[in-house]
Chain A
Amino acid sequence: MNDFMQQALAAASRSAPPWLEPLQARGREAWSNTSMPTRKTEAWKYTSLQALQKTFSAAPTQAAGSPLGDVPLPKLSGPTLVFTDGHYRADLSTTELPAGLRLVRFADATRDQAERIAAALGSAILPGRHVFAPLNDATLTDGVFMDVAANTRIETPVHIAWLTTGQNESISVTQRLLVSLGENSGATLVESFANTATGGTAFTNGLTELLIGRGAQLNHYRLHLEQGDVVHIGGVHARQEADSTLNGFHLALGSALKRIDLVVNHQGAGAHCSLDGLYLPRGTETVDYHTCIEHAVPHCTSRERFRGIIADEASAVFNGRIHIHPQAQKTRAELSNKNLLTSNKAEINTKPELEIYADDVQCAHGATVAQLDPLTLHYLRTRGVPRDEAEVMLSYGFINELVEAVEQAELQAFLKPLLARRFARDSRLTRHIL
């Protein structure tokens, strides 16, 4: 184990509920046997973990009572759970729940709930598929179990905000969410990740597991809004039963490093998943999305649309793997990744990775890398639009299709100005977009 690996364990708080201890122990052991990925590891070829070569200490054992300041978070009408530095903040949360929905913190779980959680944790993660999952297990002290009863449709969105606050030292924070949707249920989940404006360095390890029952539909939005020195390594692992639907929307503004693995397992026929994603690193930031759709059964469909705008000296990675197993006949899978580089020093590494072992399937994929088209820019200018505004309109236009596809209206209203202002601070330049 290298320094980071040992220190990450040493930093782990021991104040977990007793029923989590077996999971922690398994995690510690698995982490001890883990080799830290290097640039020679295929799945980490373009992303260096150099940013982890510094000292991260344990998150404070008490929640900071500080106000949040101007953290850009969506304001949604449903229940909201806020965590700062891994601690639940009752003072910032609203927990009025509609019938059929339970939000259980691990630390508060009853014995029955604890049994269900313990049995389900990790079950959506294929063995060896998430390098940092054992560390998450080993350091897990609290998390959230979102449980939607069968045949229930929850109309209001559930919002879980994972925040890190301004600290002088670098801290390490573990975040864990387990979601279970009963048969024929439906829900909308928004996860936001952000840090307070005062900064501080944090290593956050956020792991989300989605267990989507037969005929159920989950709309899952995962917004990575952290900025500055934050290093996030996390993932979403979904298991979909027959005829279920997962609609995922993923956003990553840049910070020092974000590596997010999205893995969807189709376990029952007739399941559908769509994953939309946007990544917008700038400065010297790095964002790395690795997606993997495991088509293990017949008659499933998947559609992925990822767009990235990479500015300055930033870099991004998109790796989209589609694995169609021999028995997964009649699979339809689509993957599209488009990238816009707005500087000569920006870097994108995009790779579709198709493994197809069934013969009766439709699979389409495409990746593009481009710069703002000079003739399109010129066309706007011939109509009097100033160059700087035209550039902002075209940059925003590049991602607009996916923003417009966000069905949750409150969230779309939050995202539009946030994203438009990503391309221009001057409101004169965004006035026609907003």
Chain B
Amino acid sequence: MTTLTDPPKESFRLSMLIYDTRYRSTTFQVLALIAFLILIGWLISNTAQNLAELGKEPSFRFLGEPAGYDINQRLIDYDSQSPHLRAAFVGLLNTLLVAVMGCALATVLGVTIGVLRLSKNWVVAKIMTVYVEMFRNVPVLLWIVLVMAIMIETLPSPSAFRGADPEATLKVFDTVALTNRGVYVPEPLFSRSLGDLHLFGNSALNFNISLDLALLVAVLVAGLFVSGRIKHRADRIQEATGERPTTWYLRLGVVVIPVVIVLIALGFHLGYPELKGFNFAGGTHMRNSLIALWLALSLYTAAFIAEIVRAGIMAISHGQTEAAAALGLRPKRIMNLVVLPQALRVIIPPLISQYLNLTKNSSLAIAVGYMDITGTLMGITLNQTGRELETVMLGMLIYLIISLSISLVMNWYNERVKMVER
């Protein structure tokens, strides 16, 4: 006769931390955490010790002191008496400006070039290949300085526009001045302006939003929304009856007419550049540093995007196109309904990382004197205050936030277009 007994109760021994798989992973994790914390602690204590030796203590007070330097391109009010924090803010806005402009242009160029590389026209396809290889295989910093040098050397200086018989003239019906200091284009002006909306009071980060612009954007968005509803309705009717009502004039109308009305109400007119003193006055001045950086980044990134687009289109198997054709779809609809939606899924993830790269590469602005966040906070402010630790850390943090935001937004979009597999 046997009696059932409980198995002998296992006592906990120290060696079980390593040999028992139940505990082993925890042990490793704790060890890793300890090692990591020691490393961090070591770095921090070194830093504290070194700073104490240099007689500096980390403090962000300098951000409130007057910067003392001027910045040429500022999207918000700034002068040399503004604090360093505001200079950093001006730089941040400049970074964002060139990044957004760059991403937009690079996408347009990249898609065009990627499609043209698949063109049947031999010369065009070859030129595009040469373009892609040329830009991909030469450092972007070199392209930035080269584009800047080309702009400076080939375009006329404002003095060439002077005199009775000038060497250079305004382009596009006398409204655009192409100079080696940048491009002056007509600026939108409102004679019955609504004024500005002042945000954040007197803090260093205060800025104004033009109410005219805000109104225009609001009207435009509303128009697009209504247009979307009209399309939706047309789709429903088509599904129900098979007949699609003609709606294009309606859709165009709800977008354009309100905008035009608002423009007239605000007294919209253009301000043209004219030569005054040393420079052109009036018009919007896009500085050559901005243009050089923008062009170089866009051209460089476009080469990569072109490859991504080409790979994306080529990844769609020919059977898809043929099947769509067999269903009787017209070529344009095959592209819109079959090929592009599938290609986009392949294209979007690498496209996101190209946008990220472009944004990060915009930090090379320093090479052409474009005052982005690297040029202000991590450039002149660092030089004038000698606060390396604080400025560089703050700058890195800002870039990290920008990058992570782009990733988040794009991943969210990616999630939406992802194929739902069954």
**A and B form one complex:** no
Q: Which residues of A contact B (CB under 8 A)?
A: none
